[in-house]
């Protein structure tokens, strides 16, 4: 008696095949190859100075000042430069000052920039185009131009040598307002119109609909503002004279030596100032790329 056997091979139009289609193969065109090569060269050009600074920070001062270029110091690697920086400076206090001032600047900037950007994106009012033009024009103004008027303003408000003197002048970021407005313009207005029909107020729409949809760009803006505030040296240096208020970039510059330039110590200070930012970028690089990739700035 013959037994019938069923074939296990699924037909090409089987639903199982349609549910799990094979991903298309990516072909490497000449343009992509050239772009990858150029990107790799740029990455190498950026990494070489960083690698040299790292190696120099772990050298002795004698090896760091030697005229002969050497990636491996003759006397070996050492932590003496870092130990000297921690011995002569108050690194924990300066790091804390940089952290809380940068966090406050980031938070206030997000609130102000998001509110202004939403108003420019959704509300029609007299002088809107003029205000948008002023914001765009202020992006190209070099920040050092505003140092003198800002300093006199802080003096008039009796805020010099306070944390507010560091925080308040850095909370206005026209570029972030422009970026957020571009993102808000892409949010469908139908969502807000439906919320209005349900009786939602403008502020409720902003806080419960617009902001949750804007998490990627808000994260990206927050990271960029935090990095900018952390790296700022000139304004905190001018606005404060109290050693207990010094930020990390300013405090590290106060560590001087009577024996001329200490290359290893300078590189160790630079690495200590950059290390928190490197950690932040490594943890949040996906949010940075995702946030700015969805703004549509590439097509403007």
Give the separation between CA 193 and CA 197, rounded to whole angstroms: 6
Question: Is the model's pLDDT at 259 over the cut of 80?
Answer: no
Mean pLDDT for the chain? Answer: 81
pLDDT digits (tens, 9 = 90+) for 222-231: 888 998 899 8
Q: Do the beta carbons of residue 239 and residue 170 sit within 8 Å?
A: no
69-117 tens-digit pLDDT: 778 877 788 888 888 888 877 888 888 999 999 999 999 999 999 999 9
pLDDT in tens, 131-187: 888 888 888 888 888 899 999 999 999 998 899 999 999 998 898 999 899 889 888
Q: Determine the Cα–Cα distance for residues 99 and 247; give it in Å rounded to an integer.
A: 8
Residue 1 is predicted with a pLDDT of 44
Count Cα atoms within 13 angstroms, Cβ side, for 281: 10
DSSP state of 2: P
Q: What is the pLDDT of residue 5?
A: 46
- Cα–Cα distance, 268 to 296 (Å, whole number): 40
Q: Which residues contact 144 (CB under 8 A, 6 or more apart)?
A: 234
Closest CA to 97 of 161, 187, 169, 140: 161
State residue 103's pLDDT score: 93
- Rounded Cα gap, residues 167 and 247, in angstroms: 12
Q: Which domains, and CATH codes, for the chain? A: 32-78 (no CATH), 90-299 (1.10.3720.10)
Instruction: Categorize the per-residue pLDDT at 3 as very low, low, confident or very high, splitting at 50, 70 and 90.
Output: very low
This prediction's pTM: 0.76
Cα-Cα end-to-end distance for the chain: 75
């Amino acid at each position: 008696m013959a037994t019938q056997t069923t074939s296990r091979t699924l037909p090409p139009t089987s639903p199982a095949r349609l549910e799990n289609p094979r991903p298309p193969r990516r072909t490497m065109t000449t343009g992509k190859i050239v772009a990858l090569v150029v990107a790799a060269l740029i990455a190498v050009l950026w990494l070489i100075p960083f690698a040299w600074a790292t190696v120099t920070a772990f050298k002795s001062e004698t090896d760091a000042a030697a005229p002969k270029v050497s990636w491996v110091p003759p006397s070996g690697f050492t932590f003496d430069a870092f130990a000297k920086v921690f011995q002569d400076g108050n690194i924990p206090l300066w790091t804390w000052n940089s952290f809380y001032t940068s966090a406050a600047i980031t938070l206030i900037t997000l609130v102000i920039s998001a509110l202004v950007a939403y108003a420019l994106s959704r509300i029609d009012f007299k002088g809107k185009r003029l205000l948008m033009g002023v914001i765009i024009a202020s992006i190209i103004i070099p920040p050092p131009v505003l140092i003198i008027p800002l300093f006199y303003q802080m003096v008039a408000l009796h805020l010099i040598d306070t944390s507010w003197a560091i925080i308040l002048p850095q909370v206005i970021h026209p570029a972030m307002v422009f970026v957020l407005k571009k993102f808000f313009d892409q949010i469908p207005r139908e969502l807000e119109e439906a919320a209005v029909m349900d009786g939602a107020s403008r502020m409720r729409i902003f806080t419960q609909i617009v902001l949750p949809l804007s998490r990627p760009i808000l994260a990206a803006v927050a990271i960029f503002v935090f990095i900018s505030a952390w790296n700022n040296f000139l304004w905190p240096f001018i606005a404060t004279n109290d050693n207990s208020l010094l930020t990390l970039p300013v405090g590290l510059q106060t560590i001087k030596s009577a024996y001329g330039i200490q290359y290893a110590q300078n590189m160790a200070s630079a690495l200590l100032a950059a290390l928190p930012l490197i950690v932040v970028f490594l943890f949040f690089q996906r949010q940075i790329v995702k946030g700015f990739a969805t703004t549509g700035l590439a097509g403007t």
